[in-house]
Amino acid sequence: NALPCCWCRWETDHGKSILYQSLNKEHGSETHKGCSCMDRRRVVLKTPEVTCRRSSEVLLKTLTFIRNLPSFYHVPWEDQLVLIQQNWAPLFVLGMAQEGVDFDLREISAPSLLKKILLNQSLTANNELGSSSLGASLAEVQKMKNLLWKFWDLDISVKEYAYLKGIILFNSGKLPGLSCSDPIPGRHGEAQQALMEFISTMFHRNLGRFAWILQLIASLQDINADAIEELFFRPILGQATLNVLLLETLHIKPD
């Protein structure tokens, strides 16, 4: 069972106290718009040395896949930039699924809102301390772990993963700012059609599998890229930005 956050425990144990009512009246808008315990809880990797190494290998394989895809380099560099910036996170999670990378988490403690109020520490400082420098959101990481298990339950083949990467890479449905958008949905559709034909052939026209996989792909788009960067790459990169590193590695730059 999930542990309640400090504020929820305080509310449960001291809901009738004068101090609680006073604090809650002043800060109720921040603590009672639906309990966001999972969002406030922060986690880091339990074994960062091992997991960060495996994560880096997954990212490298993902970049190698993109590099070896001629159709990607036929897209103008401006659109390459947009596609990578918006789609690297779901591609990475898909790679984690393909490589079977699981990981354990360790929750890190942060001063509770109540403690900061009692110690006269500013809420501004609290917001800064609650940023990504204190680990990744447990809610976002749990969302990713749940998706990984769903992919593993489907026992997806190597060929299916290849088609899925093409579908994700050329997904431009929510991407503003593309300079040459016409060929991109076409390539997205081609990869999707190829996946459907493959599943139809290999699984005796079981298109329920196709629909289920597409549903998982749609869920991948909701994965928080900042949470991934913080959890898997912050211990390696320090303050460097992963987006910049990705573009440099793929040599995406103006002609």
Which pLDDT tens digit goes with each residue over 204-248? 888 899 999 999 999 999 999 999 999 999 988 888 888 888 888
Band (pLDDT 50/70/90 cuts) for residue 44 is very high
Q: Find out whether 83 and 75 touch, Cβ atoms under 8 Å.
A: yes
Spatial neighbors of 208 by CB under 8 A, at least 6 apart, are: none
What integer pLDDT is reported at residue 21 of this predicted model? 53
Domains of the chain: residue spans and CATH: 47-104+137-249 (1.10.565.10)
Please give the biggest Cα pair distance in the chain.
Answer: 68
16 — phi, psi (to 5°)? -100, -5
SS3 186: helix
What integer pLDDT is reported at residue 238 of this predicted model? 83
By 3-state DSSP, what share of the chain in percent is helix, strand and coil, each rounded to 5?
Answer: 70, 5, 30
